Structure 1
Amino acid sequence: MRRIIHNVSLADQAYNLLKKDISSAVLAPEQELPEEKLAADLGISRTPLREALKRLATEGLIVLQKGRPATVATFTKEDSLEYMELRQVLEIHNIEKIMPLLDQLLFDELKENLEHQLEAVQQNHYHNFIDLDREFHLILVSRNGNSKFQEMIHQINTGVNRAFLLLSNTLHVSAYEAYEEHVTLVEALESKDVSLAKEKMLKHLQNVEKRFLSYFHKEEK
């Protein structure tokens, strides 16, 4: 594990290094993360380390346990399917809710995000793509006036984000496919065709589910 460079936020650096080690399987699912050892490995105190661990827990990447070391989270096929079922219900309904509220500012945000998605794919920065994919869906729900609805989609996308991390060995294919699906969804939104937009969102989420199942099928073999 690389040590911290003391010229940027220590918590941010610890978070990024640990997230990378989790996503690349250097830190395996269910592996314990004792604070004393982690702090020594990173060359920092426990205070910024604990802040980093809290962020990782919020994203569903680790599990914090009272009186015991944190552990790297696991993500099963059943978890993936349950998250995807909820995403379909919420995100397709969200399309209908936000359609009358679409404006140029929203489309500018979405298109800027798409530009960054394409750059990430072309530069093989797949972990950046994961974050941009999540942001894309959060931009869409930002027009929904129901704050609880926003929170639910935010939470579910965070959970699904964990599955994307597990899929990192196939992201060179699936990331570009997801980018293209996002492009067609934005085009449908611009056409103001709510039925087409909902269809494109459903197709995208079904394809995400297929990519999950393909990953787990390979793991089971």
Structure 2
Amino acid sequence: MAVPSRSIDEHGLPVSLVDVAGRRIRESILSGALKPGDKIVEEQLCASLGISRAPLREALRLLGQQGLVEHLPRRGSRVTEWSPQDILQLFELRHILERHAIESALPLADLTTDLDPVRAALDDLRVAARRDDDLEKDDAHRRFHASVVGLAGNRQLDIAMEPILLKLQLPMAINLRNEARVHDPADGIRRHEYVLEALETNDPKIAVAAAKNHGQLDFLDLESTS
């Protein structure tokens, strides 16, 4: 499907061809239509999106910064392929930063307002699920974990967390989508509700345990890819 010459986002604002192309490619990667290791054929994408190579290559460059696409010298681009060890290490790094943030932040002074960013991300996750919008669900999922780290009010911690979450967005998406196929689609949301409930206890030990053991690896089937 060609990209309209003037695309508009949900707020009625114009969206660039780079943004639209990036969203389409990212959606293809996170949905599994483009799989890890798949070569990205620029000619085919230009034809299917109805755009020139310049915005496509810029979109691919930005996706490369997110860790979804890797550029190979003289061989073009392909979908990034993480090994099971890479994925486990990235999840471990995520947990280390979340644990540090939780232990730094809790007990919170005002549970009513301090947890609002976490609640807002969880609400976005629910809305995206009701709309059956997997890409927005993936974004809300990432914001949820970013907001947990944000509780510490530590800018350097937030900066450190961002690239980890971007590199993890594909395994995080796979885990949620595989879970929705074999269980109740709402289970993924419930798992994150339990994390919020643990944070609401204001007990760092309970919250750290919930963040570490909330099923983030349960549906990835890493052994079959090792």
Same fold judged by TM-score > 0.5?
yes
Q: CA deviation at 1:219?
A: 6.2
After superposition, the C-alpha distances for 1:59-107 in whole angstroms (9 at most, x for unaligned) are 2211023443111111332222111222222211210112255644442
Q: What is the rounded CA distance, in whole Å, between the counterparts of 1:5 and 1:163 in structure 2?
A: 31
Percent of pairs with identical residues: 28
Structure 2 CA distance for partners of 1:171 and 1:58, relative to 1, 3 Å = farther
Q: What is the rounded CA distance, in whole Å, between the counterparts of 1:84 and 1:177 in structure 2?
A: 20
Among candidates 190, 198, 219, match of residue 211 of structure 1: 219
Among candidates 101, 123, 126, match of residue 94 of structure 1: 101
Gaps of 5+ in 1: none
Q: 2:145 matched to which residue of 1?
A: 137
Q: 1:183 matched to which residue of 2?
A: 193
8 A contact 1:138–1:153 mirrored in 2 = yes
SS where residue 35 of structure 2 aligns? coil
Aligned residue pairs, count: 215
Gaps of 5+ in 2: 8-15
Structure 2 CA distance for partners of 1:35 and 1:152, relative to 1, 3 Å = same
Q: 2:13 matched to which residue of 1?
A: none
Among candidates 9, 17, 20, match of residue 24 of structure 2: 17
SS where residue 219 of structure 2 aligns? helix
Q: What is the rounded CA distance, in whole Å, between the counterparts of 1:122 and 1:218 in structure 2?
A: 32
TM-score with structure 1 length normalisation? 0.83
Q: 2:5 matched to which residue of 1?
A: 6
Equivalent positions of 1:38-187 (< 5 A) are 38-100=45-107, 103=110, 104-167=112-175, 169-172=177-180, 173=183, 176-187=186-197
TM-score with structure 2 length normalisation? 0.81
The answer to whether structure 1 residue 200 and structure 2 residue 213 are counterparts is no
Looking at secondary structure, tell me which structure has more helix per residue.
Answer: 1
